[in-house]
């Protein structure tokens, strides 16, 4: 089963639960358009290499498509359209005036020089410029892309349009129209959802424990902000290994260790454990913030966490969902939990359109309010329809998307 087919399982469950019109369901199940481009790049040694890039717009019924661009050797059309679909749902759950989009280039960035990376980035924008824009489709950073790359994209698009175009892309540096609070936004949203889940379970955050899988941007900010909220972070992992300390780990100090050594491993006072052991720890909250497909039918029965709050996209397989649901674990799905990033991207877009920028405190206040509202809506839907939080999140998304479709006369 491909990634896109897996993503349709909770969607179909939501369609069934809410008795959605078959015509509306058929529209939602298919992306509006998928673009594939070839990007020739003159490499440093003089030869020309042609890279394949994609941009998918799953839905634009509620507004411009919105979603990141990832650079990875495993990027493919199936992955891009799945992520675009998730973005449609994520934006709808958060109540943002966006549809879902996603892009990617098949490339191993570790094999490119900075000049080659910039040439590839500008070449990609040259090929998709007609397809994107502040009122059409708004890209953002994703795997192996960052504020610097967004700056190159904005510069290239501005050259093509002949005017300054900061609103066509988000995740930029502050100097070229980025927003305060954007770097921590996804992690902040994950922790906000996690704290709301603790309240539902009547667990005091000051007495709660958590484990964080992954220590990239999302994982590191999740760990730091969970620590700030009073949770005890007892385990953290990265691609090199995992560490555990029952007395707690200071993620800010751990971050300094990672900057010095390149990994969370061998952190002072910690015990080395496996990634599998981290996932199976007896903690109040497990934050999977690494890659998709981490919790499967092979390990779901061993999960002891009371709450799972998904920082990554698709970390739990459909088979695992069924097992976790039977165990009574409260799972906060990705399209709700990690929506903080796109929420603050929306704020960045609004600020770019107005050319008026907010303080970080204002950004955080607005983000938290939207995330808490979304959590409460989804939780109430889960009780109303007697379904899991994941299916309830899809019901929330579908309700908004199909209402817009109906009012536009699409079915």
All domains in the chain, ordered by first residue: 31-166 (3.40.50.10860), 185-337 (3.40.50.720)
Residue 241 has pLDDT above 80, yes or no: yes
Sheet with 285-288: strands ordered across: 271-273, 241-244, 232-238, 209-213, 285-288, 307-309, 330-332
CA separation for the pair 382, 376 (Å, rounded): 10
Q: What mean pLDDT is predicted for residues 218-247?
A: 97
Sign of CA dihedral 339, 8, 83, 60: negative
The model's confidence at residue 1, banded by pLDDT at 50, 70 and 90, is low
Evaluate whether 65 touches 84 at the Cβ level (below 8 Å).
yes
What pTM did the predictor assign? Answer: 0.93
- Look-up: residue for tokens 């959802």? 193
Q: What mean pLDDT is predicted for residues 244-269?
A: 97
- The torsion angles phi and psi of 199, rounded to 5 degrees, stand at -60, -45
Evaluate whether 65 touches 99 at the Cβ level (below 8 Å).
yes
CA separation for the pair 289, 128 (Å, rounded): 30
The model's confidence at residue 6, banded by pLDDT at 50, 70 and 90, is confident
Evaluate whether 233 touches 196 at the Cβ level (below 8 Å).
no
Per the residue annotation, which of 102, 172, 224, 306 is the catalytic one?
102
b/e map 369-401, b = 16+ CB within 10 Å: ebbeebbebbbebbeeeebbbbbbbbbbbbbbb
The model's confidence at residue 4, banded by pLDDT at 50, 70 and 90, is confident
Evaluate whether 363 touches 348 at the Cβ level (below 8 Å).
no
Where does residue 96 rank: exposed (0-12), middle (13-18), buried (19+ CB within 10 A)?
buried
- The torsion angles phi and psi of 384, rounded to 5 degrees, stand at -65, -45
Q: What mean pLDDT is predicted for residues 77-103?
A: 95
Sign of CA dihedral 66, 68, 74, 75: positive
Residue 329 has pLDDT above 70, yes or no: yes
Evaluate whether 306 touches 326 at the Cβ level (below 8 Å).
no
Residue 129 has pLDDT above 80, yes or no: yes
The model's confidence at residue 322, banded by pLDDT at 50, 70 and 90, is very high
Residue 193 has pLDDT above 80, yes or no: yes
Q: What angle do CA 261, 265, 270 make, to 5 degrees?
A: 120
Q: What is the CA radius of gyration of the chain?
A: 21
Tokens of 77: 């059309």
Task: State residue 390's pLDDT score.
Answer: 97
End-to-end alpha carbon distance in the chain: 30
State the chain's mean pLDDT as an integer.
96
Q: What mean pLDDT is predicted for residues 152-175?
A: 97
CA distances from 240 to 235, 243, 258, 365, 378 (A): 14, 10, 11, 35, 35
The model's confidence at residue 214, banded by pLDDT at 50, 70 and 90, is very high
Residue 66 falls in the annotated catalytic set:
no
CB atoms within 10 A of CB 9: 18
Q: What mean pLDDT is predicted for residues 298-302?
A: 97
pLDDT > 70 in the chain, percent: 100
**4-13, 26-35, 372-381, range with the lowest pLDDT:** 4-13
pLDDT > 90 in the chain, percent: 96
Evaluate whether 242 touches 235 at the Cβ level (below 8 Å).
yes
Residue 2 has pLDDT above 80, yes or no: no
């Amino acid at each position: 089963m491909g990634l896109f087919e897996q993503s349709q399982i909770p969607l179909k469950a939501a369609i069934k639960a809410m008795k959605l019109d078959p015509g509306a369901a058929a529209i939602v199940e298919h992306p509006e358009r998928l673009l594939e481009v070839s990007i020739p790049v003159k490499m440093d040694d003089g030869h020309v290499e042609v890279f394949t890039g994609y941009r998918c717009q799953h839905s634009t019924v509620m507004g411009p498509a919105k979603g990141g661009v990832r650079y990875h050797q495993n990027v493919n059309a199936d992955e891009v359209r799945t992520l675009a679909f998730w973005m449609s749902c994520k934006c709808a759950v958060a109540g943002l005036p966006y549809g879902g989009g996603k892009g990617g280039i098949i490339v191993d960035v570790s094999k490119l020089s900075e000049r080659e990376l910039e040439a590839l980035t500008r070449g990609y924008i040259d090929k998709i410029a007609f397809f994107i824009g502040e009122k059409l489709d708004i890209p953002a950073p994703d795997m192996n892309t960052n504020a610097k790359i967004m700056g190159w994209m904005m510069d290239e698009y501005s050259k093509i349009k002949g005017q300054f175009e900061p609103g066509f892309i988000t995740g930029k540096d502050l100097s070229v129209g980025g927003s305060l609070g954007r770097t921590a936004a996804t992690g902040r949203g994950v922790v906000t959802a996690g704290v709301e889940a603790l309240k539902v379970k009547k667990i005091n955050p000051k007495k709660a424990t958590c484990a964080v899988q992954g220590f990239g941007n999302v994982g590191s900010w999740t760990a730091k902000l969970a620590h700030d909220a009073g949770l005890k972070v007892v385990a953290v992992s990265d691609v090199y290994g995992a560490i555990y300390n029952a007395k707690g780990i200071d993620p800010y100090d751990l971050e300094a260790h990672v900057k010095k050594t390149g990994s969370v491993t061998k952190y002072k006072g910690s015990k080395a454990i496996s990634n599998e052991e981290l996932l199976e720890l007896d903690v109040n909250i497990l934050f999977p913030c690494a890659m998709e497909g981490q919790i499967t039918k092979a390990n779901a029965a061993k999960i002891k966490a009371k709450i799972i709050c998904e920082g990554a996209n698709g970390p739990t397989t459909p088979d695992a969902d069924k097992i976790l649901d039977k165990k009574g674990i409260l799972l906060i799905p990705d399209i709700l939990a990690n929506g903080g990033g796109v929420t603050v991207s929306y704020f960045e877009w609004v600020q770019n359109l107005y050319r008026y920028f907010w303080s970080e405190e204002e950004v955080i206040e607005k983000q938290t309010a939207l995330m808490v509202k979304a959590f409460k809506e989804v939780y109430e839907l889960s009780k109303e329809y007697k379904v899991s939080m994941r299916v309830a999140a899809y019901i929330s998304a579908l309700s908004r998307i199909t209402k817009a479709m109906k009012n536009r006369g699409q079915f």
